[in-house]
Amino acid sequence: MAISKKAGKKNALKSGGTTKVAKADWKEGFKKKQVGVSDMTLLTTIDENSINDNLKKRWTDGEIYTYIGGVLISVNPFKDLGIYTDETLQKYKGKNRLEVPPHVFSIAESAYYNMNAYHENQCVIISGESGAGKTEAAKRIMQYIAAVSGGEDSSIQEIKEMVLATNPLLESFGCAKTLRNNNSSRHGKYLEIMFNTHGEPIGAQITNYLLEKGRVVGQLENERNFHIFYQFTKAASDEQREEFGLQGPDAYNYTSRSKCLEVQGIDDSNDYADTLNAMRIIGLSNQEQNEIFRLIAVILWLGNVEFQEMDDGNSAIFDTGITDFIAHLIEADSAMVQKVLTSRVVETQRGGRRGSVYDVPLNPAQANAGRDALAKAIYNNLFEWIVARINVSMKARSASAQVIGILDIFGFEIFEDNSFEQLCINYVNEKLQQIFIELTLKTEQEEYVREQIKWNPIKYFNNKIVCDLIEERKPPGIFAALNDACATAHADPAAADNSFVQRTAMLSSNAHFEARGSQFLVRHYAGDVMYNIAGMTDKNKDALVKDLFDLVGSSGNQFLQTLFSDRPDPSSKKRPPTAGDRIKASAGALVDNLMKAQPSYIRTIKPNQNRSSKEYDTKAILHQIKYLGLQENIRVRRAGFAYRNTFEKMVERFYLLSPSTSYAGEYTWQGDAKSGCEKILKDTGIAKDEWQMGVTKAFIKNPETLFALETMRDRYWHNMAARIQRAWRNYWRYKNECARRIQKFWKNNKEALEYAKVRDYGHQVLAGRKERRRYSLLSYRRFLGDYLDVNGQNIVGSDLRSACGLGAEQATFSSKVQILVSKFGRSSKLSPRFLIVTARAVYIAVTSEKNGQIQTSLERKIPLVTIKSISMSNLRDDWLVLNCNASEEGDPILHCYFKTELTANLLTLTQASINVLIGPSIEYAKKKDKKAQIQFVRDETITKDDVYKSHVVHVPSGEPPSSTSRPAAKRKPGIVRPITQGKLLRAGGPSDGKTSRPKPAAQPLPGKPTQFAAVRPTPVVPKSAPTPPTNIPVPPPPPHKEPEAELYKAKFAFEGQEGEISLKKDDTVELIEKDDNGWWLVRKDGQEGWAPNNYLELIPPKPKAAPAARSPPPRPPPPPSAPLAAIAAPIPASASKPAVSTMSVKSLTADASNKPVAVFPGLAPSNGSAAPWKKPAAVSTNGSSSSTPTSSRPSSSLGAKPPPPVAPKPKPVPPPVASKPSGGKLSPKPPIPMAPRPGAGAAPPKIHKPSAPAGQMDLAAALAKRAQKIAGE
């Protein structure tokens, strides 16, 4: 298993390891078990009974949705299952249908996703018989699309609200309770939602199909009129009741004749409130709403107009008060209303009196028919106006990119009395079934043949013969025969019906038609239907008489005239279109729209006729399974291919999945689209039997394969984003690691730099007038100041502070010194003292014994203002005198190893007001007004320090007065520790020759125009003339020098643990690294690990023959860029000639076990260890390094820790093993902090010296302490 790019080496498995298996989730035991199969293409037996059994199992268990491939089968549960909540909706967002259980939300998600992904129009065709749940499915699809389509713009949100508001509004005006369904759609509706390029809805349009306007004037028993009539009569406001004379629904014939005023589960009052709210959302004004309800009242009152038969057989209005109120509502003349309802104006067309006009009275039957025709016309036109008004409000706000259409249309109907309305409804369903056959069965097989795809053909029933029976003109179909009958016998409906009966005899040649006298039978795909001819021709004409149009034209109500704005021209000789013509044209337009989109199918099934949630009518469902063609659909899905697309589309969609066709998101394939598509399918690892290449398209057998491709494509972008994020995080880790190294370097060395500045200031104070001690010029000599830690917390410093009474004063310098004390009658002698300097005075403290106790007391306090000068000799001694004003005590004569630092400190505190006197002798005031001198003599016999005797100091020769601090020692070149916190650099650096594959040139996508970025022309560089060969002979390369690795032999057996290496006696190992804690890193048989050094014994190297003498090769030219190791160890400028190296420059590989070294030049000792004033971190007994460094100062507050223990000398028996390296890993210890090289600039007179960092030790301080100890002894 490869090392994880995210987790690094920590998660890497050892070679030969197995892939980690995900642990089983215990929650899976509580998940609901699947009942049946969710996709019926997986059924073992494909017949109608097995399909029915599967649907029954799932419906009984509350699973109403089942798939057949991409087709959703829905069985109406007749109860609320709670499966349309927002929580459920979110589960289907962004998921393909195989990731979640079958649901109508999944169909909506698929249509929305495909629209955005493939930029193609989509449509959802919902079919099934009345009461199967088509309207509910359409509402849920709109709910889902509105929820997931996004868009924060107010206009987009407004469109969403309008789309959802169309449901309650059109349900009120277009749905009614029937024997089979309490909310049956009595019209067809095709809702097209328009989207922009971002997948946000920007508009919508509704197309209305064949409103069942006959329901306005009559219904079967236990059915109802349209919902709006009951909502309005039950919940209208008092103002409306007063204005329109409104009463309850039982007061009107059109609503009470069927004897069904209440419906279980329907609250008309609440629905009326929803209707008003929908009108408000759509944008209907109060005036428009008032006019709508005015016409609803007109229709209701028209139904109450009754006619009585007069003695002459003519009709008369029974209650003229009703007609007077109707005339008031439509703002027309009352007498004209009564005349239009009881008589008809007839104009003769033939004979001698051609053009004569007569008023023909109507009998009661004719008067009722005229009244009903007016009511139906008003409602039909009102419904179409509402649909048109909705379309105006939902007009697209911007350019439309794609469309999702939702078809909710009446289902197949078979009643006891089937007439013209059922013929039209069943005809539309035949057309929809034809689309289903064309798109899922016939076209599928034809395409396989055309594309030369191998598959097993399936027999199916093509219902085109039934559609031709109804709609064809030549030979004439049923609609054509109806039109001919209406044209030849237009005056008498009965005569027209008889003419149609005669014409049906010509249709008997069609096997799906039978003429049976006054009836005829059509064998539809859904079953055989017997139609009654009586009244068909009159319904097909669907025309108002001229008198009714005149009544509308005379009305003062402008809204009513708007509804009838397209009144036919009476002078036109062109036959107006019949109802059959209109439904045929509408169905053709619908088919054209659906064929332009990619369809999704929902086939709804009604489990019983009683709307029961527990009754499952097997016989009825088997019939629906048959006419829906589910069995053939399953067979086609099993035998065919679930997905196909052109090569260009496939490449455009999935070229990212193959490294051969893409690079960094660019299309790079240079071959044709077919070969590129085949390359993609091969590189993605899809089995060959899962896809086939046709002539122009690629075919994928199972939808799971397509979903896998889509998942890989989605994952590609996620992976690219993750790679960018990972690179960015690595860059920041790299950057932070660099910053941490810089900060660490600065923290470790900033104080040393400050001390170095003070030291350089000391050199300026001496000004080349005094010889220097060798130890004073060490490169690591630092002026730390408070050597006694008076400012700290240790006991010695606290006692001195208390004895001197410093209080809150801070010591700027403290050290042990010796003062020259005069003895009466004897030679003066040096006596130890403590010297403390503050910003105000110099304190000299002495330790004495009193009563057996050691006490420290203040011996003398010298204010800084009294010090006039400091006297020193010009030799390398450590003597100086503080020349004070005339004092009874005289001037103190001090012997101090840190004399230069003390002088620099006093000058800094006094703003350089003290003179520094340097000469061959020192003059001092022994007492007030008594001067004395101390002579300094050069004496080479003195081996150490200096010797005082009788006012003469014998001093050996020192360094020249012009000497300055030595430069930092050249550090030892070592293995550069690379930055491993980030992945900005490869392991081993960029020079290891590992480069990524070259970026291929971008290519235009198949079928797309070439769109390359402007390429900057590459300038032509002339080739330089070849260099002439020189006569200088090139020396042969030096012989290969094998690395000399130290080999050790194991003296004892050792059983290693994690991070250690096991040894047997006499095993030979190769030494890699020595560590001071007693553990060495060794290699045996290619395996590295830690072993105790006292278990190992060096194997003497074998002698090698001396190589022959060779002439030195000529000096090679300088390399273009120096390696990091060479930069880290520059050659001093003072070197006489450069060293010649025979090693080839190689890139360094990062290794966690390598010992870290400094990467800054000139700032580390030559042996690669820490700086001398830096103590290494102490190693605890458990092997872990302490992260707290120790202080080098005497009695430091951090406490000095002992140095690491030295491993004991091995004995004949196996010796004890030293403590293990930290953590048991190969890394021996934390990185050692590196010391920087101090700058050489002069410090300003006033220096703000920070506190000394922990972990530093001054070598000069250690030497001075040792000298004082020797002198004290």
Q: Which of 121, 127, 130, 463 is catalytic?
A: 130
Please give the structure tokens belonging to residue 823: 């003895």
- CA 550, 551, 554 angle in degrees (round to 5)? 85
Q: Are 445 and 558 spatial neighbours (Cβ–Cβ below 8 Å)?
A: no
d(C-alpha 929, C-alpha 753), whole Å: 44
d(C-alpha 1093, C-alpha 1050), whole Å: 9
d(C-alpha 1055, C-alpha 1063), whole Å: 6
d(C-alpha 224, C-alpha 256), whole Å: 8
Q: Are 751 and 886 spatial neighbours (Cβ–Cβ below 8 Å)?
A: no
**Exposure of 982 in the CB half-sphere (CA atoms within 13 A):** 17
Question: Residues with Cβ < 8 Å from 669, sequence gap 6 or more?
Answer: 651, 655, 660, 661, 662, 675, 676, 679, 1003
User: Which amino acid, residue 79?
Assistant: K
Please give the structure tokens belonging to residue 1207: 């491993």
Phi, psi of 931 (to 5 degrees): -95, 155
Strand partners, 849: 854
Q: Of 1252, 1255, 1251, 1234, nearest to 1190 (Cα)?
A: 1255
**Exposure of 371 in the CB half-sphere (CA atoms within 13 A):** 32
Q: Which of 52, 74, 96, 135 is catalytic?
A: 135
Rg, the chain, Cα only: 53
d(C-alpha 307, C-alpha 300), whole Å: 16
User: Which amino acid, residue 142?
Assistant: M
Q: Which of 166, 185, 225, 749 is catalytic?
A: 185
Using a 10 angstrom Cβ sphere, with 0-12 exposed, 13-18 middle and 19 or more buried, the burial of residue 163 is: buried
Please give the structure tokens belonging to residue 615: 């009754």
Q: Are 628 and 127 spatial neighbours (Cβ–Cβ below 8 Å)?
A: yes
Q: Which of 167, 181, 504, 1227 is catalytic?
A: 181
- Helical ranges in 510-660 per DSSP H: 536-541, 546-554, 558-563, 579-595, 618-628, 630-639, 647-654
Is 130 among the catalytic positions? yes
Is 565 among the catalytic positions? no
Strand partners, 814: 786, 836
- CA 918, 920, 923 angle in degrees (round to 5)? 70
Q: Which of 128, 199, 405, 411 is catalytic?
A: 411
Q: Which of 36, 70, 131, 133 is catalytic?
A: 131
Strand partners, 532: 519
- Helix or strand (DSSP H, E) at 938: strand 930-938
Is 131 among the catalytic positions? yes
Is 413 among the catalytic positions? yes
Phi, psi of 798 (to 5 degrees): -65, -40
Instruction: For residue 1179, give the DSSP letter.
Output: B
Q: Of 584, 579, 466, 474, nearest to 522 (Cα)?
A: 466
Is 184 among the catalytic positions? yes
Q: Which of 136, 413, 438, 901 is catalytic?
A: 413
Q: Are 1080 and 1074 spatial neighbours (Cβ–Cβ below 8 Å)?
A: yes
Q: Are 457 and 445 spatial neighbours (Cβ–Cβ below 8 Å)?
A: yes
Please give the structure tokens belonging to residue 974: 């070592």
Q: Of 1260, 1229, 84, 115, nearest to 777 (Cα)?
A: 1260
d(C-alpha 754, C-alpha 1165), whole Å: 20
Please give the structure tokens belonging to residue 213: 């306007």
Phi, psi of 869 (to 5 degrees): -155, 170
CA distances from residue 1235 to 741, 753, 969, 1164 in whole angstroms, order as listed: 12, 10, 12, 6
**Percentage helix, strand, coil, to 5, in the chain?**
35, 20, 45
Q: Which of 167, 172, 184, 1093 is catalytic?
A: 184
User: Which amino acid, residue 200?
Assistant: E
Is 411 among the catalytic positions? yes
- CB count within 10 Å of CB 1130 equals 12
Catalytic machinery residues? 130-131, 135, 181, 184-185, 411, 413
